[in-house]
Structure 1
Amino acid sequence: MASLSNQTTCPYCGVGCGVSATTNDQRVIAVSGDGEHPANRGRLCVKGSALHETTGPEGRLLTPRVDGQEHDWSVTLDTLATRLEAIIRQHGPGSVAMYLSGQLLTEDYYVANKLMKGFIGSAHVDTNSRLCMSSTVVGYKRAFGGDLQPCSYEDIDHAELMVLVGSNAAWNHPILYQRMVAAKAANPAVKVVLIDPRRTATADLADLHLALKPGSDALIFNAILAALAERGALDKAYVESHTEGFEAALESANTTAGNLADVARKADVPLADLEQLVEWFCTTERTLTFFSQGVNQSSSGTDKVNSIINCHLATGRLGRPGMGPFSLTGQPNAMGGREVGGLANQLAAHMDFSQAEFIDRVGRFWQAPNMAQQEGYKAIPLFEAIERGEIKAVWIMATNPLVSLPDANRVRRALEKCELVIISECMAHTDTLELADIVLPASGWSEKNGTVTNSERRISRQRGLVPPPGEAKHDWWIICELAKRLGFGQAFDYASPADIFREHARLSGFENNRSRGFDISALAELSDAGYDALKPIQWPVHKQAPEGTPRLFADGHFFTPSGKARLLPITPQAPSQQPDSEYPLLVNSGRIRDQWHTMTRTGRAARLLQHHAEPFIEIHPLDAKRFKVTHLQLAELHNELGRYLGRIRISDQQRQGEVFIPMHWTRQFTQEGCSGTLFAPMVDPLSGQPESKQGRADLRPLNMRWEARLLVRDALALDGLPGRGHWWTRVPLSNCVSYRLADAEPVENWQYWCETLVGTPSLWLEDLSNGRFRAAGIRDSRLEWILLVEPNHELPDLGWLDAQFARQIDLDTRRQLLEAKAPGDQVSGAVICSCFQVREPDIIAAIQAGADSAQALGEQLKCGTNCGSCLPELKGLVDTHADRVKSE
């Protein structure tokens, strides 16, 4: 079969990059950036570039299951309908809940909300977007009268000041970050400010970095608002004509942040740096303020969002090129989910439960017999209701709450108690899936067909390129088939996602009359062919804007009752979780460069696990001394909720008294590496968004007696690992599975240890006086496993060893296995450029040979020439090692 190239959209971050995929024999075999998509202009980050490595039937959920037994779809859906009807009959509609995901397509989201809120009659429908952008939703609604992100990516090309707040865009939105880099290169006069407690890779672009005390963002922006007024930098005409609430907002700003020296002290930033930020903000009209999870994931996230918006409204800096408060969305369809009412306090088409008129309108449009009348439980209260037995059935779709929610151990206890746990999932192994009563195999990326909406309100098609494997079905189909069995067939008689999209578009314009900002009614009459060919377009898309709308509010009209935007009085609040004598460290969590959420997809691509292959704890050098931990030593963070095990990484880019941990690792990949176990379920009272950036913990070293690398042909169950104080991580490679092992207990007989876990060694090398043991199992000239016990952390590189699992093992190779390296030189060390697999030693060697810039390294080694995510690290290595060469 000939290869076919198809256009679709990346399923990772909210940038919403276009992807050209090549298929062959019903598999995706290659991907590249879609040069015609305006979000990425042909570029892809390393995660997007590896998409084809994460597809295929291996590791997929292929068959429906009920109570652990496989069944066909008819039996499974009949059983599901019967059990749900019994629970609803006995306990009422409010005993049933859904927990959805920004990974769903808009069409999936739409029918899920329609079924629950309109036909079953339960508003207990929330989404993991609650953990991501819900504070922004409330902030935008309070200011603009709707969940309306005003900016466009093209504003980056016009901005003169870019302020990034709580955003490590270089790693989390890398293609958008590279657009910022290009804009600054084209106009060196552009200023970039990073406001973030950590000096992240994004700081490489910044002219100024304010490493503020966590939680003090609103204090900084109150100070800016006060300074704008003091220095005569307000747009008084705009404020008078288009806003309300300015006087109260300014009074609060003056009261809480009128003295810059006091603000600098409270925020723990140098006064000169704060003064420079204020000066640039006051004197630069084209100011674009990006904010992300560092702002949103807070117990006062909504107020932080509004403190940023206040500064833009006070200067009239929105609705025009190069300016505005720009929320960088975390997930590919977090915004699409918000459009159709994916949050528990929302209804479809940007309506909600705040007005009886909205509830009536949506109910009439749907002809819904059981329209929910009040908002449901947000994510944290939802799982609390499950734990206390109020919610008897929960349907979890395309998400992994046992890992992503705070107080993860409590979430586990809640689901263990739940009468009926239904899970729609595409992967065969997730932490949450282990607790399912009914399992529904769902289609995944490259199989799904529908739409997503990115951070700039751009609707793009995610196309089905290959058929789902096994018995996997599309989520919209599963929901509609259940609805038919519950007696609602006429309302869910959709033939395709195009049918659902057209209904969604009609509802957006239904009795709208420009009273709601979200309106895509011009797309309501798309034919099937028109839907299939739909090009990326920014809403609103209606009669007055049939080609879409790059930016909002150019006319000064907002969607509040008065038609004016609101400034809000903001009183900055400290984080709810505060360190104390028992738990003295503040814990921050977040993404790393090459991984996505809970690694169910990215964990399948071997090259994406070579930049950071295991959970870690990043800590300041002085704190490392204080807690008696050393670089690369294993250690434990713990508090009253749980514990987290990781390898120490000492960095002066981290503030003293604070640590950073990645959010990705699960029980599928490590033991006790779930960041969610350390965070209390403290939430913003307005948005319900958890405070996942400010936890607290104590730290202690894990004094392991040995560490080892174990490579095996097939994955192991490590519950029976010999020893009592053991630790492990798993890394899938191309031909085998690699485990990193350690234990606080000594091993007296390594050969017996091997026999217990993997089998009798075929060859071994013992040097116990130096803490070294090596052994391998070979069967029929095929390598089955190899164990490398080393006295230090620097274990041999895996590339050559992995390749041996695909080859016949001859006598020469047996000797090389015991040496754990290929004949001749072998480069080991961290992979810095995942796109081209360029390792740190090669980069350092090139620098020492004269490559004195990231550009020179790219010309020589290709590193940094694809997605650009590694450029900050390349520049750091140049700075470090070029200086050493000069000093020598």
Structure 2
Amino acid sequence: MDMSLPAPTVRTTCPYCGVGCGVTATVKPGTIPIIAGDARHAASGGRLCVKGAALGETLDLDGRLLYPHIREEGAMRRAGWDEALERVAGGFARIIEEYGPDAVALYVSGQLLTEDYYVANKFMKGYVGSANIDTNSRLCMSSSVAGHKRAFGEDLVPGCYEDFELADLVVLVGSNTAWCHPTLFQRILKAKEARPGLRIVAIDPRRTATCELADLHLPIKPGTDVWLFNGLLTYLARHGHADAAFVQAQTEGLEGALATADTDCSDPVQVARICRVDPGKLLAFYEAFAASDKVVSAYSQGVNQSSSGTDKVNAIINCHLLTGRIGRPGMGPFSLTGQPNAMGGREVGGLANMLAAHMDLDNPAQRELVRSFWDAPRIADKPGLKAVDLFRAVEEGKVKAVWIMATNPLVSLPDAEKVRRALDKCELVVVSDIVAATDTNDYADVLLPALGWGEKDGTVTNSERRISRQRAFLPAPGEARADWRALCEVARRMGFTGFGYEDAHAIFDEHARLSGWRNDAHNRRVFDISGLAGMHRKDYDALEPVQWPVAPGSSEGTQRLFADCRFAHANGKARFIATAPRAPVHAVDEDFPLALNTGRLRDQWHTMTRTGKSPRLANHAPEPTIDLHPHDALLCGVREGELARVTSRWGAMVARVAHGGGIARGSVFVPIHWSGQTASDARVGALVNPVVDPVSGEPEFKHTPVRVEPFVVEWQAFVLSRTPLAVDKVANWTRVQGAGFVRYELGGRGPAQAGWARTLLDVDEEADWIEYDDAGAGVYRAAHLVEGRLQACIFVTRGGALPPRQWLAGLFAQETLAPGERATLLAGRAPLAGADPGPTVCSCFGVGRNTIYAAIRKQGLETTAQVTSCLKAGGNCGSCVPEIGKLLAEARCGESERG
């Protein structure tokens, strides 16, 4: 290759959240691809959050599953693709013949591309003849799907991201948008800078980073969203804010919805008492909603992940229907999806109760329509098992074979120990993944290596219905194959026709043609991308992001839905849904007095199989925490910085106590990201109750009764090591990737002295080993050097504080240690004041807390903009801006106290 030529740049999309940001990857042989935001992509305009910006750091092949494997006599061995596919096809065929099609299942993921999803659904629903295919999207947005279908007649998100910029009021409900959808949140903040009159209301039990930047925060009691929005509905109706003409002509069901809301929610003071919010703030929200014509109400997992999630969605939509605030610029209800292709999966029937192209499984005419288009031998005629029920059926022996793709249910599902028991008993467990070691893979009978981001080719659809290309810019590693290709190979081996696709383009074309198949006045569906059917391969390769629907004969998309006030129900009207408030199924009690809430952290994604490879993403939150109010910690007998156990009726976990400052009494927050690969006992899914929404089947991730109690260890330690260590015998451990080293946080019982440390670090007697041991103070420290280069270090305490990690971590970047650094190594702090940056605040630019605080104090900085100008911190994705704001406030308080 002529190295003088510019490196090729490929336009693709980010594989993380549902914002669907455009990404450019510039590839030069022998170097890490350069990742940047795609300024031409309408969803993001060149913005990337820190996770997207760090994608290049996650593309190595360490830990990749590169070849098929088969389990024999309890052990996995490498196999060829033909043998592995024969095992899968033969196992599925045998079980279907003996027990029927409902004895097999697929469990897939919003990480799949639309083309993968399409083939999986065609395979199961049209050829196997069972709807037993569900997705981990069931865990994050199925309540929104159900709410949309009840209100609109189809799973439809009416608006677009531009509406957030045009709105006068943005209501963020159960969504830490600043952390979970950062580039979209930055668009909102930029709009607010341009129009200070734009108001932001955050409705969340926790005071999150989003709440820090909102004009009004309503910290409602977990599970009371329906009371809140039923109260808003009655307030709007009683104070004359209904759009009577719209309601009369375009909706039905208002009388029933109002009657239900009036039962408990007609008095704002009573609603405030139920929701545990200040009545004045509640009325301020109601008045702001009433006074603002352009209102966007965006909701995410805090609404969806509930045993009443569908009702919460409809309670929000009801308020928009009453006021006619839908279908026009700057207004409407808006579901923020969690995964990059959760909506693409919905388009092809990815849920167990749906058919492809937004058709209904319980509609005989639509079932026949899909069957005839596919020329399938059969079609599933009843809904399949939803995620939680699916693995319950596996444990009960009703489902005897399951194929899991691109997800880790042993970590992510509620009551995760049940999933472990299910997979352990299942006759045939097939897993397609890019990672060799996951909690789920330990139970696989067949492992199939899949293509990962940067290697696979197809489309995804983001939260605003925008279809974008995800393009390959890396070669397939080892023998990895696209998921759709593995499915097609199994289908052909089972004797099924209709799976002879040559590439992703052919699958997309069929998907587009099905969306327009008999889509007429008698069977009208809003989802229609038939305008994209018939593209040549080069046109598919060059496809620009486009929002559906895309009408026949056109390649132009549709920015907003319902501009004509026609909805997808047969009579063209939207429906108000009566939403009777109800509390979470499991209430706190004396044995389990706290309510567990789970969710994401700023810089991590799902179970960290990708983000966990990036050192800079690990720095902000390097280990799992139990965030609870200091008063609750006192009652539980636990202290900040120490280990504690959280226990529910379903399981338990261990993590370190933290006081984030944003959680109300009676609640606990634990992040979802840690698995058996990264911690000894921190899978929060093991605690979560398996109760689901009766309509959507979405689990109750936001409210599980728990108790917190001390997890007693005799000593605590951390280790930084260039090589992985065997720490399984330690009472508690977590592992995270650093820059050139692995970081372990340990808690143990029994001896922790020189001999133990040498054994743990695998250091012989001849090694360059320095140590400090103060048995009386309970302190032990040691370091291993190789030719002057730091190889590993360990710091142990039996009661005191451990040194900061940041300066020590920086020593691993050096080829040799300077004499002063070696001399002060065991002190655990830099020889020069100011050399330790402190815990990371801005991951984009690697700026620590100490650095920011020192700059604020020394240079008299007063605003986040000044901090950004001085240090760059906060100048990229902006998700650290709330934390910078807290540091500014701390500095002001410090000056005030000294004054």
- What is the correspondence of 1:858-877 to structure 2 with a 5 Å cutoff? 858-877=868-887
Q: Contact 1:736 / 1:802 at 8 angstroms: preserved in 2?
A: no
CA deviations on 1:157-187 (whole Å, 9 max, x unpaired) are 2100111110100000000011111111111
Change in Cα spacing, 1:541 to 1:764, as seen in structure 2 (3 Å) is same
Q: Which residue of 2 aligns with 1:683?
A: 692
Shift of 1:799: 5.0
- What is the correspondence of 1:152-171 to structure 2 with a 5 Å cutoff? 152-171=160-179
1:584 to 584, 593, 599: 593
Aligned equivalents of 2:79 and 2:260: distance in 1?
61
1:412 to 397, 408, 420: 420
SS where residue 24 of structure 1 aligns? coil
Q: Contact 1:784 / 1:805 at 8 angstroms: preserved in 2?
A: no
Unaligned runs of 5+ residues in structure 1 are: none
SS where residue 718 of structure 1 aligns? coil
Change in Cα spacing, 1:510 to 1:199, as seen in structure 2 (3 Å) is same
- What is the correspondence of 1:230-629 to structure 2 with a 5 Å cutoff? 230-488=238-496, 490-513=497-520, 515-543=524-552, 546-629=555-638
CA deviations on 1:675-712 (whole Å, 9 max, x unpaired) are 11111100000000000000111111223321111122
Q: 2:137 aligned with 1:129, yes or no?
A: yes
SS where residue 492 of structure 1 aligns? coil
Q: Which residue of 1 aligns with 2:217?
A: 209
- What is the correspondence of 1:184-195 to structure 2 with a 5 Å cutoff? 184-195=192-203
Q: Which residue of 1 aligns with 2:38?
A: 34
CA deviations on 1:397-440 (whole Å, 9 max, x unpaired) are 00010111000111111111111110000012211111111000
Q: Which residue of 2 aligns with 1:729?
A: 734
Greater Cα offset, 760-769 or 357-366: 760-769
Change in Cα spacing, 1:26 to 1:775, as seen in structure 2 (3 Å) is closer
Q: 2:22 aligned with 1:22, yes or no?
A: no
SS where residue 476 of structure 1 aligns? helix
Letter in 2 for 1:569: A
Q: Which residue of 1 aligns with 2:680?
A: 671
Change in Cα spacing, 1:803 to 1:467, as seen in structure 2 (3 Å) is farther
Q: 2:751 aligned with 1:751, yes or no?
A: no
- What is the correspondence of 1:803-822 to structure 2 with a 5 Å cutoff? 803-804=811-812, 807-808=815-816, 814-821=822-829
Aligned equivalents of 1:256 and 1:363: distance in 2?
47
Greater Cα offset, 332-341 or 421-430: 421-430
Aligned equivalents of 2:119 and 2:603: distance in 1?
33
Aligned equivalents of 1:435 and 1:746: distance in 2?
33
SS where residue 27 of structure 2 aligns? strand
Aligned equivalents of 2:362 and 2:869: distance in 1?
58
Shift of 1:733: 1.3
Shift of 1:623: 1.0
Aligned equivalents of 1:799 and 1:63: distance in 2?
40
Aligned equivalents of 2:875 and 2:757: distance in 1?
46
Shift of 1:716: 2.3
CA deviations on 1:820-867 (whole Å, 9 max, x unpaired) are 455434314210000011000111111112011111111111100011
Shift of 1:377: 0.2
Q: 2:88 aligned with 1:80, yes or no?
A: yes
Q: 2:57 aligned with 1:53, yes or no?
A: yes
- What is the correspondence of 1:133-148 to structure 2 with a 5 Å cutoff? 133-148=141-156
Q: Which residue of 1 aligns with 2:772?
A: 765
Shift of 1:101: 0.3
Change in Cα spacing, 1:448 to 1:88, as seen in structure 2 (3 Å) is same
SS where residue 594 of structure 1 aligns? coil
Q: Contact 1:63 / 1:441 at 8 angstroms: preserved in 2?
A: yes
SS where residue 776 of structure 2 aligns? helix
Shift of 1:879: 1.3
Aligned equivalents of 2:165 and 2:794: distance in 1?
53
Greater Cα offset, 441-450 or 794-803: 794-803
Q: 2:10 aligned with 1:3, yes or no?
A: no
Q: TM-score, normalised by structure 1?
A: 0.97
Aligned equivalents of 1:755 and 1:455: distance in 2?
51
Aligned equivalents of 1:879 and 1:712: distance in 2?
37
Unaligned runs of 5+ residues in structure 2 are: none
Change in Cα spacing, 1:26 to 1:135, as seen in structure 2 (3 Å) is farther
Aligned equivalents of 2:789 and 2:205: distance in 1?
50
SS where residue 720 of structure 1 aligns? coil
Q: Contact 2:821 / 2:831 at 8 angstroms: preserved in 1?
A: no
Letter in 1 for 2:844: C
Aligned equivalents of 1:27 and 1:307: distance in 2?
51
Shift of 1:651: 3.8
Q: Contact 2:806 / 2:838 at 8 angstroms: preserved in 1?
A: no
Change in Cα spacing, 1:233 to 1:95, as seen in structure 2 (3 Å) is same
Shift of 1:796: 3.1
Aligned equivalents of 1:400 and 1:801: distance in 2?
31
Shift of 1:779: 4.8
Q: Contact 2:599 / 2:670 at 8 angstroms: preserved in 1?
A: yes
1:842 to 829, 832, 851: 851
SS where residue 78 of structure 1 aligns? helix
Shift of 1:810: 7.9
Change in Cα spacing, 1:747 to 1:405, as seen in structure 2 (3 Å) is same
Aligned equivalents of 2:897 and 2:856: distance in 1?
14
Q: Contact 2:167 / 2:198 at 8 angstroms: preserved in 1?
A: yes
Aligned equivalents of 2:567 and 2:145: distance in 1?
15
Shift of 1:69: 0.8
Q: Which residue of 1 aligns with 2:796?
A: 789
1:742 to 741, 747, 754: 747
Shift of 1:383: 0.2
Letter in 1 for 2:872: K
Shift of 1:808: 4.7
Shift of 1:533: 0.4
Shift of 1:28: 4.5
Aligned equivalents of 2:292 and 2:728: distance in 1?
59
Aligned equivalents of 1:828 and 1:746: distance in 2?
34
Aligned equivalents of 1:322 and 1:100: distance in 2?
35
Aligned equivalents of 1:652 and 1:445: distance in 2?
36
Q: Contact 1:709 / 1:795 at 8 angstroms: preserved in 2?
A: no
Q: Contact 1:848 / 1:882 at 8 angstroms: preserved in 2?
A: no
Greater Cα offset, 323-332 or 776-785: 776-785
Letter in 2 for 1:734: A
Q: Which residue of 1 aligns with 2:709?
A: 700
Shift of 1:121: 1.4
Q: TM-score, normalised by structure 2?
A: 0.96
Greater Cα offset, 168-177 or 729-738: 729-738
